[in-house]
Structure 1
Amino acid sequence: MKTRFLMNETEPGAYAAMVAMEKYLSTTGIAPLHQEMIRVRASQINGCAFCVDKHSKDALKQGETTQRLLLLSVWRESPQFTEEERIILAMTEEITQISQQGLTDETYEKAVAAFGLNGTAQLIMAVNIINAWNRIGVSTRRIPGQ
């Protein structure tokens, strides 16, 4: 398998718009480690090897442990994740797998209680941004490590 093309070279305007969305995340109250957690989990679900590779490395640089990264796909059965992280991961899975049920009322209500309306909106945006990147990565066949 080889990369089909690089979006930043072929459609620089579209790529710049995505980068602007990514820059928005740096203005939010979402902890950098939680942002990486969202990125890795959504990328696992979407099968974007490039993004799993990139964001796992970024998470490790942010101080994430190898053990928690390895347990991320089974977070429901792992006591290593806080209640706030469990809400974030549930949101990530439900929004990423939107055709199954979408963001449930139960998870939404927990998110609003824990993060407020603005924090919940920011988390929804974070999940949507990585889902867009995943779709670009998978569609263009980005290769991990390149």
Structure 2
Amino acid sequence: MTKRLNILARTNGGIDGLVAAEAWIARSFDPRLMELVKMRVSQINGCAHCLHMHRQEALKQGETEERMLLLDAWHESQLYTDRERAALAWAESLTYIAESRAPDADYEAAHSVFSEDELMALSIGIAMINAWNRLAIGFRLQHPADHNRAA
């Protein structure tokens, strides 16, 4: 595998805006639910680095192993609330935007359970984790198991 830049060490301020946006999201939206959303988007995008990180954060927020394990099959599970289901559906719609075109049904479901401010924070959070996934995958950021095996 070709060695790539360590974007976390060599940003020249380029990531500062992303970090600031994350701080705003953390103040504006339910942190436990946002971690579920970040994990689901990271599953879709195949980002091991972000999945590892957000699993740890979700545990700190009180999330259970069972719900994280079943997250990929949330459509079939009764473990998720209506708010969580709406957030996950909206996250999938925005992550698969080229195919989904963000259907009205998903927007309406999210809008029915979130305030306008919450929906904006959720949507920006979804956009942010998609951006982080693309950077982490593109620059091959390692998660701890990869790092330990490579050493």
* Band of TM-score, shorter chain: over 0.9
> How do residues 39-78 of structure 1 correspond to structure 2 at under 5 angstroms?
39-78=38-77
For residues 2 and 82 of structure 2, the distance between their equivalents in structure 1, rounded to whole angstroms, comes to 40
Does the residue aligned with 1:94 lie in a helix, a strand or coil?
A: helix
CA contact (8 A) 1:42 1:127 kept: yes
Root mean square deviation of aligned Cα: 1.4
Q: Tell me which amino acid in the other structure corresponds to 1:26.
A: A
How many aligned residue pairs are there?
145
> How do residues 1-146 of structure 1 correspond to structure 2 at under 5 angstroms?
1=1, 4-28=4-28, 30-145=29-144
Q: Tell me which amino acid in the other structure corresponds to 2:12.
A: P
Q: 1:89 to 1:35 in 2, by over 3 A?
A: same
TM-score (norm 2): 0.90
Does the residue aligned with 1:12 lie in a helix, a strand or coil?
A: coil
Residue by residue over 1:30-69, the C-alpha shift from the partner in whole angstroms, topping out at 9 and shown as x without a partner, is 2110110111000000011000011011111111110000
Residue by residue over 1:64-111, the C-alpha shift from the partner in whole angstroms, topping out at 9 and shown as x without a partner, is 110000000000000100011000000111101111113210111121
Residue by residue over 1:90-138, the C-alpha shift from the partner in whole angstroms, topping out at 9 and shown as x without a partner, is 0111101111113210111121121122221111101000000000000
Q: 1:8 to 1:103 in 2, by over 3 A?
A: same
CA contact (8 A) 1:46 1:134 kept: yes
How far off is 1:2 after superposition? Answer: 6.8
Where structure 1 has 5 or more consecutive residues not aligned to the other structure, the ranges are: none
Q: Which has the higher contact order (CA 8 A, sep 6+)?
A: 1
Does the residue aligned with 1:13 lie in a helix, a strand or coil?
A: coil
Q: 1:3 to 1:64 in 2, by over 3 A?
A: farther
Q: Tell me which amino acid in the other structure corresponds to 1:4.
A: R
How far off is 1:9 after superposition? Answer: 2.5
Q: Tell me which amino acid in the other structure corresponds to 2:83.
A: E
How far off is 1:11 after superposition? Answer: 2.1
Q: Tell me which amino acid in the other structure corresponds to 1:66.
A: E
